[in-house]
């Protein structure tokens, strides 16, 4: 393997941490209203459904777990115990491109039954964003952008990392709204590990 330049692992971690910090702060400022609207959407829903593909989906799984800790009725789309989505429910999605077929189809189906849609994406003009009741735009490179202009990282890494931060921010905001103690949340933590 030949490379034109090398970077130490420590320097790579610093680079990534700085990119995540800058992108998360820009998202928090530029999308402040949308983030609050997304929290409202989640907080007011009888049930919350979560869907994402690939690494974005893995990032959203973390958010799903935290929403369960809050006591919300939350489901991962695709799991065998996931019920049908209905009017009034909320579907939370993340897709950097906003064009992932399975995610767009799920959002279309959810919309057709009267569910509301929350989207996290880099593409404000995407088919997924067009279906959204609330859209949070992350200033990060899309998966196919290999220009290293928006991020030095590979294939959407920055977007996926910011999805985790957004999910934790939503959780923290909702937790503070509800006034639950950490001990109350801990009672919902898995005890079958």
Q: CB 85: neighbour CB atoms within 10 A? A: 23
Active site residue 187: no
| Marked catalytic residue, from 124, 160, 184, 193 | 160
Active site residues: 160
């Amino acid at each position: 393997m030949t490379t034109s330049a090398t970077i130490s692992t420590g320097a790579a971690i610093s680079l990534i941490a700085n990119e995540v910090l800058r992108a998360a702060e820009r998202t928090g400022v530029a999308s402040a209203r949308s983030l609050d609207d997304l929290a409202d959407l989640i907080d007011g829903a009888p049930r919350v459904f979560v869907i994402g593909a690939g690494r974005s989906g893995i990032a959203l799984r973390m958010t799903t777990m935290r929403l369960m800790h809050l006591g919300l009725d939350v489901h991962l789309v695709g799991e065998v115990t996931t019920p049908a989505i209905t009017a009034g429910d909320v579907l939370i999605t993340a897709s950097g491109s906003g064009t992932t077929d399975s995610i767009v189809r799920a959002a279309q189906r959810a919309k057709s039954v009267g569910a509301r849609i929350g989207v996290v994406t880099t593409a404000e003009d995407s088919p997924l964003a067009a279906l959204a009741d609330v859209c949070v735009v992350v200033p990060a490179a899309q998966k196919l952008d290999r220009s290293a202009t928006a991020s030095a990282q590979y294939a959407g890494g920055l977007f996926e990392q910011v999805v985790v931060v957004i999910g934790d921010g939503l959780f923290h905001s909702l937790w503070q709204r509800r006034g639950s103690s950490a001990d109350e949340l801990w009672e919902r933590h898995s005890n079958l590990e």
